[in-house]
Every structure is written in structure tokens, then in C-alpha cells.
Structure 1
Amino acid sequence: MSETQRKLTTIFSADVQDYTRLMGADEEGTLATLKRYRDAMSRLIGVHGGRVINTWGDGLIAEFPSVVEAVRTAVDVQNELAGLNAARPADGRMLFRIGINLGDVIVEGDDIYGDGVNIAARLQVSAPAGGIVISNTVYDQVRNKVAVGFDFLGPLAVKNVADAVPSYAVRIGEREDAPQQPRTDDVRPAMAPVAQARRPAIVGHKPVAFFAVIAIALVVINILTWQGVFWAEWPLLAIVFLAAMNWSRSQSWLDPRLAGLGVVAAGLVCINLLSWHGVFWAVWPLLAIAVVVSLRWMKRR
């Protein structure tokens, strides 16, 4: 039996955005691209002194003795993969999300376990396609050592972890040899963390107002042309669906894929009720969505 011990390390977690869609469109081509991209990622991890711990499906876990080198690796990975994607059609590009956390882990043989790994995986899920999200423990170590910008995203809730983890998005594309300019968003406010934490949630206000104006206009037109039929219910349902999808994508604390499936499920129930003929047919697509969500959730853990 392998000896179990604990250590402080930097965990690097990555996976592919929309991997299921890519596999559905071209299974063999997607697997070949995944191997090519993951080989490039593994090479860069080794160059920066890291070690690949595990790969599964479209995911990868690595660890680094240096926090700085872990962030530099992530930036190099995203830049190199962006170059590879530039030659591919927009709907065939393979975009990775990366999360990085510095934490205490349990080591057993070649594997690592614990909250430190779980937090890195949760940060990865919160990252945009082609982006990087880091924890506050990483930010504290690299803020003055890596010439990239950082955007504070607020506290991130992590399952089985008591306290929310403050997180930061890394701004990619700034030259590492460029002089580092002081930025107000690189400094965490001491007196108003709650106000900062709310920033991601208000990004979608303008689109919501736009959808609301269209919905009100449709209701007014329906009333002014009333002939005993409320025909606006279907375009209203479409507007609510689009607004809900837009809102779910603007929340940093939600997995965009799980949130999107939840919106689709709610939309199916509404369609079933609005077209009710005594049969709840939505139960079958809802069951399929529940299976997909369950598999996705187990994969995250």
C-alpha cells in the first residue's frame, strides 16, 4: 500500500468547453485534436517544472512546485492553443478552461486528493472557454511576479468547503516583457468585498432590459389587436428563454453547461403546459437532461 502524506502544492486543472458537442459532430477528429492539444499542454507543463497527475475524458490535472510557473504555464498553454485554433473553423475549435489553486493536498502514490484539488476543478468550471481562473491563494503569490492583468470575480462557493473561495480571472494577451502598470482592479478592496463580489451578477442588466421592452411591446400589441386570442404567449416564452440563457451565462458561480440544461428543461415544461392536451410528454426529454446533468456533476467531482 502506498504511503499517504500531505503537502502544499499548486494544482492545475483543465478541460474542454463543449466537448460533448465536438464529439457529436466528429468523434474521431475530436479525439485526434484532443490528443494533439493535450500533448502540447503536457509538454509546456514539463517545460515549466510541472507534472501531469491524471487525464480522463477531456480533462487533465497537473501539479507544480512553483505557483508562478503554474500561471505562466496556463498563459503559454492558452496562447499556443489559440494559435492552433486559428487554423480551424469557428465551430470546430477546441477551447480549454483552466483553474489553478494553491492548497494542501493528500498524496497517495502518484495521485493527489482533497479540497485543494476540488477547488482547482471548481475554478476550472467557472473559467470561460480559452480562459484561466485562479484562487486568491494563487493571486497573492503571483500578482507582482507575472505581467498579466487580473479581474476579481468575487467569492466562489465550493461543495464541501465551508468558506467561499475568492477568485480572479487572468487577462491573457499582455506581453510579459511590458512594464506592469498599477491597476485598481488588481487590488482587493479591504472595506467593500461584498460590492466587488456582486460585479459579475450585474453584467447582464442591459440585455435583460432589452428583452423586457420587447416583451412589453408584444403584450401591448396583443391587447390593442385583441380578437379573443392571447397569441403573444409563444413569443413571450421565446423571449424569457433567451433572457434566462443570457443570465445563466453571465453568472460566474454557475456551470454554464448545467445552467443551460436547466433553462432548456424549464422551457420544455412551459411548452408542454402551454400546449396541454392531457399528456405530460416533457417527462422523457427531462429524464434525458437529468441523466446528462448527473453525469456532468459526477465528472466534476
Structure 2
Amino acid sequence: MPRSPPVKRRVAAILAADIVGFSRLIAEDEDGTLQQLAAYRNVLDDFVAHHGGRVFNTAGNSIMCEFASAVEATRAAIDIQDYMRTQNLASPHNRRVQFRIGISVGEVVERQNDLLGMAVNIAARLETLASPGGICLSRAVHEAVSGQIAVPFIDIGERQVKNIPFPVHAFTIAGPDAGIPAEPRRSSLRPWAMSSLAVTGACLIVLVGAGGLVSYGGPSGPMEQPAAEAGILSPAQTFLLPVDPVEAFSGLVQRGGQIDDPHSAPGLYHNALLLEAKGEAIGAHRAYYTLARMGLDFVDPHLRYAALVRAHEGRFIARQVYAELNEDAPTRATALVHALQFDGAERRARLDAVIETHPDYAPAYFLLAEEHSEDRVGSLQTAHERRVEQAALAEFLKAHEEGRLMPFFLDQSVAADWVERAHKRHARLSLSGESASALPGFDP
């Protein structure tokens, strides 16, 4: 009797993806949903192939992929979720397509190009633990990738899942869209919640206790605030914030090199600039977006982030991103950069409105002056526009002289460049004989 061919066994990382609410989407618009799914499948396949993987099984709205590396499987998952989040910005909430993704690693058996084994089953079950737009990893995957990929992880502990005879220890990748599954074992601080923390002394220690109160420890003594008001998720967690983020950013620039797992504005901005310079747009986008949601008033990271989105996704998506940020994490910086995503008269009207609402936000005056400058409007610049430009520059330079400008820039070299340009333009306008006149919302 001939022998059966030997069973092919190997270790592989398995990515399982499933569309959230697929039955509802089909019931509401079958043709449109199928067209969307086909388009997204092409993109998903490209991401999988880019990271050295292959799709080995599809069933309805589920997709199973194999990778030789847990790191590459996780990178592919992050790329997919980042892409889907960006695409969904332009869609109504009830028509958004979101994936849940689970990733495991272990021994698999190949049969006719399909894969079987516990790693496949666990990936499928981890996918059910992920939130819409989220990623859930096995402990083995987390151990393989935690030192390789600079994203925040949340340990959700051991979970009993269907048809797996033992508890599965799982982690999720924290992100702006991904929530936390029920009964988390440990939770981390929302990175964008740090804006509400008052910083005093050498550093600030934030302790979130089981009672739901946030304790702020510093030289001025302890204070408490309900965790919900601070935007913090819950149980105990400690976080350190630098007192002077500008000085911290300068130190990182001098030191050089990418930071592993950054949690502060200086670290995220430093990494974003490095990743952007290396052409790693997705990693830069992720760092910028996390920083943007911190609710800080630094203008230079927002300007860089908006420019990155415009370059890769277009002005419409940049406008949508900043509309969302200005609603979810509103600051003077998000309002200003959102205004800049418009064109023509609407852009100018929105800039005027930002200054009227936030007359103390010095960067807005420089950008208003730029909007009315000869560099922007060319030979068509009118006498009124020159007066507006000069008045805005005068207010901007006054803020600088009074020390009210530099705190709005993480990268002080950007602020210094703005000041130098403002001095030159203001001097040129003064020589032209045009006198400044009052602008709506401020008195120069």
C-alpha cells in the first residue's frame, strides 16, 4: 500500500479579519456593499503582499492570511486599519466598513493551500475580541512585536473563547478608534487626554485609582479629579510628563534616533518627523494623529500633519481629518489648521473667526498676514490687504516681544523662522508707506 504524503507542518503568523456588521450593510445596500468590499479587498491584498504574506482562505466577509513573521503580520494589520480609518472619514457613519483583526502565531498544517491548526483557530477567536477598527494579539505575538513596533498595547488578560480548551492571554493595540473589550485586566492612559493635566515641578505623576479619581502629584501638593473628566480609561496606571515639552523635544533632536513606544508630545513629534523623512508615511501619520488628539496648542505638529494628509490623501480628506479633530479634541491649534484646509473667501472668513474667538492665539496672526500677503495674492494685492497684512504682522511680533509666541511651538526653529520672516515683511510694508488699521477681533 502506498504511503500517504507527509503532512506539511510549519510555524506561521495568522491574521484573521472580519467585517463588522456585514449582514446589516448587505441588507441596507447589497450592491454598494459588495462593490466597497471588492475595492477594499484589493487594497487589503496589497498590504498583505507588501508585508510578505498571502491570503489562504476567504469565507463571506472573513479573510485569513499567513505571514512568516509576527512583526510583519502586525504591521500589515496596522496599515489596514489606518487605511480603513482614513477612508471612512468620507463615509456616513452607517455606511462605514470596519474590520476586526486577530493575530496569533504557532504551528499550522497545510492542505491544498489551506491552513489548519490551533494558530488558525486562535486568530479567528482573537478577532472576535477586537473592537471595530481594532487589533487583538495573542501573548506570543505581543512578545515578538512589542520591542519592534512602537505602538501602545493594552493587556486584557486571559480570556475564555469559544472552542479553545484553554484561556487565551490577549493584548489589543490601543488607537484613536479602537475601544477596549469588556473586563480589561490593565488599561493605559488615553494619549490624547494629557492636555487636561496641569504640569508643575520637575515632572507630573498621574495615578488612576480603582475609585475613578485621578491623583496629580507634584511640588504644589496632590489634587484629585474624576477619571472620566480627565479622559482616562481606568484602573491603576502611572504616567510621567515632562514639565517643559519644548526643552524635551530639543533634547530628543540633539540626541537623534527613533524613540521606542513614545507616550509624550515631544517623543511622538520627534518620531513623526523621522518617519516622514524616511518616507514611512503610515508610521508618521500614526504618530502625528496620536499627538493631534492630545488636545495641545502646539501649532507646528498640526501644520506638518495636515500637509502630510494633503500630500497623500488630498485636501478633502485633510479637511475631514481636522473637522473630526476639532470636534473630538478641540483646541486653538485644531481650529486654526482646520480653517487652513479651505480655499479662497471661506478660508479667510474662517481665519478671521479663529482670531475673533481666540485673540490670544499668536500663530493665527502670522497665518492671517500670509493669507493677505503679496506672496499669496501676487500683483492683485490691494491697499486694504496690505493694511491687513501689516496689522496682523504687528500683532504677531508684539506677541513675540511679550513672550506669548514661543510656547505654541514644539520646534522653536519653526517659530524663529516665522519671526524672521515677519520682521522682514513688516519692515517692507512700513517702507511702502501703508499704515496699519484695525482688524476685526483685535486692536493692534
TM-score (ref. length: structure 2): 0.39
The aligned counterpart of 2:63 is 60
Within a 5 Å distance, the mapping from 1:34-183 to structure 2 comes to 34-172=37-175, 179-181=259-261
Q: Distance in 2 between matches of 1:27 and 1:163?
A: 39
Amino acid at match of 2:43: A
Detail structure 1 runs of 4+ shifted over 4 Å in the superposition: none
Is the 1:4–1:109 Cα contact (8 Å) retained in structure 2? no
1:53-112 per-residue CA deviation (whole Å, 9 max, x = no partner) reads: 111111100000011010000000000111111111111000000000001111112010
Amino acid at match of 1:4: V
Decide whether aligned partners of structure 1 residues 152 and 33 sit closer, same or farther in structure 2, where only a CA change above 3 A counts: same
Is the 2:9–2:109 Cα contact (8 Å) retained in structure 1? yes
RMSD: 1.9
Is the 2:100–2:133 Cα contact (8 Å) retained in structure 1? yes
The aligned counterpart of 2:8 is 5
The aligned counterpart of 2:348 is none
1:9-57 per-residue CA deviation (whole Å, 9 max, x = no partner) reads: 0000001000011011100000000111111111000000001111111
Q: Distance in 2 between matches of 1:101 and 1:59?
A: 16
Q: Distance in 2 between matches of 1:160 and 1:114?
A: 13
The aligned counterpart of 2:22 is 19
CA shift for structure 1 position 123: 0.4
Is the 1:97–1:127 Cα contact (8 Å) retained in structure 2? yes
Q: Distance in 2 between matches of 1:7 and 1:160?
A: 22
The structure with the larger Rg is: 2
Amino acid at match of 1:155: E
Q: Distance in 2 between matches of 1:169 and 1:71?
A: 11
CA shift for structure 1 position 4: 2.5
1:107-126 per-residue CA deviation (whole Å, 9 max, x = no partner) reads: 11201012111100000011
Is the 2:152–2:261 Cα contact (8 Å) retained in structure 1? no
1:161-184 per-residue CA deviation (whole Å, 9 max, x = no partner) reads: 33211000012369xx9622488x
Q: Distance in 2 between matches of 1:28 and 1:137?
A: 40
- Equivalent residue pairs, number: 181
Is the 2:150–2:261 Cα contact (8 Å) retained in structure 1? no
Query: Which structure 1 segments of 5+ residues have no match?
Result: 184-301
Q: Distance in 2 between matches of 1:2 and 1:21?
A: 44
Amino acid at match of 2:29: D
Q: Distance in 2 between matches of 1:143 and 1:163?
A: 24
Q: In structure 1, the residue corresponding to 2:36 is in which secondary structure? A: helix
Query: Which structure 2 segments of 5+ residues have no match?
Result: 177-190, 192-256, 264-444
Further displaced range: 165-174 or 91-100: 165-174
Amino acid at match of 2:140: T
Is the 1:2–1:109 Cα contact (8 Å) retained in structure 2? no
Q: Distance in 2 between matches of 1:35 and 1:178?
A: 37
Is the 2:129–2:136 Cα contact (8 Å) retained in structure 1? yes
CA shift for structure 1 position 156: 1.9
Q: Distance in 2 between matches of 1:80 and 1:145?
A: 21
CA shift for structure 1 position 3: 5.2
Q: In structure 2, the residue corresponding to 1:138 is in which secondary structure? A: helix
Q: Distance in 2 between matches of 1:124 and 1:22?
A: 19
The aligned counterpart of 1:243 is none
1:224-245 per-residue CA deviation (whole Å, 9 max, x = no partner) reads: xxxxxxxxxxxxxxxxxxxxxx
